[in-house]
Amino acid sequence: MIYLVNPSHLSFGVGVITPRWLFVLAGATPPVYGRPHIVDETLEPFAVDAVQAGDIVGIGIHTGNALRGYDIGKRANARGARVVFGGIHATLFPDEAHQLGGAHAVVRGDGDVIWPLVLEHATHGALQRTYEGGRVDADRFVPARWELLPENRYMWGSVQTVRGCPKHCSFCSVWRTDGQKPRQRAVDKVVAEIIELRRRGFRFVALADDNFYPVTLADLAMAERQRNPARLEQLRALRGERFELMARLAELPSDMVFFTQITMEAAEDEAFLDAMRGAKIKGALVGVEAVTPEGLKDVYKNFNDAGEALVERLRKFRDHGVHVLGSLSSGCRAIVPRPSRRRRMSPSAPGSPSRNS
């Protein structure tokens, strides 16, 4: 038996967003191994006592659920299972999973392509200590096996359209784990997954991207200044695919709602914001991080604005029908300057900066 486990200290019986990685790894599991058993502990606890010797237990962790994952790993190991860790935290700290989680192997990076090899090695008792999944090209991304979803247990579906982010914000793991080169999936494959989720009853879908806006106007301008036609052509192609995707989303049923995450620079690109509105992308997690120039410099986000300019950028999203969930770094104590009386913004307005630390 193959178990794929998303650890959680608390189980609520219902989840907000589908944990996409579980169903992608299920899709990457060759049919010869049978149907993998998916366990999302946000729904219900993992019955580790059901694990038997020879089973394979794959555990994906981020920092917030790593300790629970380590507990599961040690207990599964003690029952004779082969324990494999992956995910952001294991990618950054592979030795920790061995020391604290009873891991037989750790997969660093993407699991789409390497997972079948890991299963083969586990089956033959030849697991390596570490596997480098790397950063696979977008045409090798594995689609999720949504037919394995339990019915009526999640509020939002999730589809990934791009991995990686060209930024290098100091607090963020994305550029270290997924890289700074955006790897953008083909539009047809993205839309096909969304349609499948719609047929399974999902009206709300999270576009689970590292950065939905991988090409900025500033990027295009720099390529032109550098007189780099190859780079400019590449950036224009990526940008064109974004607009193609949003045009296709606009054709989907009008009651669908999409949410994503994006950098503040999109506020300068009104054509892009208009396309988002047409595509029914109603909201976005926007990295504010800090509200002073000094704070932005400390986290390597000089491309953001502060003060009144920050307020104007947030308003721009709202004016184009995109509601902002603002993300600020922990420990930020600066206060957003009050807008002028002429254009005062209510603290509860959709475009208001909010703390999400």
User: Helices (H) and strands (E) in the chain — how many of each?
Assistant: 12, 14
Q: Where are the domains of the chain?
A: 2-138, 160-343
2-138 to CATH, choices 3.40.50.1000, 3.40.1280.10, 3.40.395.10, 3.40.50.280: 3.40.50.280
**CA 136, 139, 144: angle at the middle one, nearest 5?**
85
pLDDT in tens, 148-182: 999 999 999 999 999 988 777 777 777 677 877 88
**For residue 107, what is the DSSP state?**
E
Q: Provide the pLDDT for residue 306.
A: 66
Beta-strand (E) ranges in 223-344?
A: 257-262, 281-289, 323-328
Q: Provide the pLDDT for residue 297.
A: 72
Q: Give dist(CA 9, CA 45) in Å, integer.
A: 8
Q: Provide the pLDDT for residue 311.
A: 80
Using alpha carbons only, how large is the chain's radius of gyration in Å? 21
Prediction pTM value: 0.84
Measure CA of the first residue to CA of the last residue in the chain; give whole Å: 39
Q: Give dist(CA 198, CA 162) in Å, integer.
A: 20
pLDDT in tens, 244-276: 999 999 999 999 999 999 988 899 999 999 999
Q: Give dist(CA 238, CA 142) in Å, integer.
A: 20
Where does 160-343 sit in CATH, by number? 3.80.30
Of 10, 11, 9, 15, whose CA–CA distance to 153 is shortest?
A: 15
Which three-class secondary structure state does DSSP give residue 2? strand
pLDDT in tens, 28-87: 999 999 999 999 999 999 999 999 999 999 999 999 999 999 999 999 999 999 999 999
Task: Provide CB contacts within 8 A for 292, sequence distance 6+.
Answer: 306, 307, 334
**Residue 298, number of CB atoms within 10 A of its CB:** 15
